[in-house]
Amino acid sequence: MAGSRCRRSGDVRSQFVTSLSCLTFLSDFGLEDGFVAACHGVAVRIAPAARIIDITHLVPPGDVRRGAAVLAQTVPGMPPAVHVAVIDPRVGTARRAIAVQAGPGILVGPDNGLLSWAITALGGASRAVLLTNDALWSHPVSPTFHGRDIFMPVAAHLLTGTALADAGPMIDVADLVMLAPPTSRMHDGEAEGEVLSVDRFGNVQLSIAAPAAAELGISFGSSLLIRCNRRELVAPYLETFGSAAPGELVAFTDSAGLISLAVSNGNAAETLSLPPGARVRIAAALPA
């Protein structure tokens, strides 16, 4: 009987390891230094066969909200994985280090809201642990580089089959730090939202989902009215910003299914003075 139980336990463990096919990595470390490579090296030392997919390391320094948006929009398209995300302005303080089971994946990082939107995107947290088992860490531990010394080694161990419960004590998923969800609402023939993120091209992603355009009677080829910063602007709603003339403001549906604003061959965020969090309203433009 004992042997039978061990075989069943081993089978479950093998299935779990097989289901986690890779490790993904997002940070604000940049590419000018060796920080990303150091984290890769730690992972490969622990899990030599690990496949590592870099989501991005160019999140503006300390911009937890931008990182949360990119992570949430990326992980649903990934295979089942351990997702490591490190944007950690309070590294070395009392903020918690966590791993969270959400849907088919595990998210590893600081408990500062960075993981929160991705947790929701993957179907919600089913369990979470504090990363207190220092046997899974790299030593010595730098007080300023937990990405290399705590988050990445724990993630690599989880990828190779270490049980989540072995990383530390369980915590209540209701106590995880969650960022307020992006706001979006329909009111009096308008859709109101916020700037969710600005990419490296200056394209402005709104928290307004594409179906809102149809609800407002806006279709591709028609024009919409944009209200922001006490200004009113009219822009065509096109399938791609590449269809616009150079310097033209255009609205389009981006790859995440959200309405975005761009300036063809330009920078919409600078042109419109729209940083992340700025309020924007859109409506169907009246015929000229």
Cβ contacts of 242 within 8 Å, gap of 6 or more: 264
Same-domain status, 42 and 150: yes
Same-domain status, 188 and 85:
no
pLDDT at 246 over 80: yes
Residue 158 has what pLDDT? 98
Q: Among the three residues 155, 175, 195, which one is the final residue of a domain in this structure?
A: 175
The region of weakest confidence among 167-181, 212-226, 239-253 is 239-253
| b (16+ CB within 10 A) / e for 122-161 | beebeebbebebeebbbeeeeeebbbbbbbbbbbbbbbee
DSSP class per residue in 130-148: E---GGGS-SSPPTT-HII
Q: Are strands 223-228 and 204-209 parallel, antiparallel or unpaired?
A: unpaired
pLDDT tens string 158-193: 999 999 999 999 999 999 999 998 889 998 899 999
Shared-domain flag, residues 165 and 206: no
203 and 234 co-located in one domain? yes
Neighbouring C-alpha atoms within 13 Å toward the C-beta of 21: 6
Q: Indicate whether 162 and 236 sit together in one domain.
A: no
- Tokens 């269809």 found at: 243
How many domains does the chain contain in total? 2
128 and 210 in a single domain? The answer is no
Same-domain check for residues 135 and 197: no
**What are residue 181's phi and psi, to 5 degrees?**
-65, 150
- The DSSP result for 171-211, as a single string, is E-GGGS--PPPPPEEEETTEEEEEEEEE-TT--EEEEEETH
The torsion angles phi and psi of 71, rounded to 5 degrees, stand at -60, -45
Q: Is the pLDDT of residue 4 over 90?
A: no
CATH number at residue 265: 2.40.30.90
Domain residue limits at 202: 184-284
pLDDT bucket at 7, cuts 50 / 70 / 90: very low
13 pLDDT above the threshold of 50: no
Residues 75 and 117 in one domain: yes
- For residues 192 and 93, state if they share a domain: no
- CA 163, CA 203: separation in Å to the nearest integer? 41
Mean pLDDT of the chain: 91
Q: What is residue 288's predicted lDDT score, i.e. its pLDDT? A: 62
* CA 255 to each of CA 105, 131, 157, 239, 266: distance values in angstroms, whole numbers, following the listed order: 22, 34, 33, 11, 19
Distance between first and last Cα of the chain: 81
- Asked if residue 10 has pLDDT above 80, the reply is no
Omega into 140 within 30° of 0, i.e. cis?
A: yes
pTM equals 0.86
Query: 200 and 146: one domain?
Result: no
213 and 260 share a domain? Answer: yes
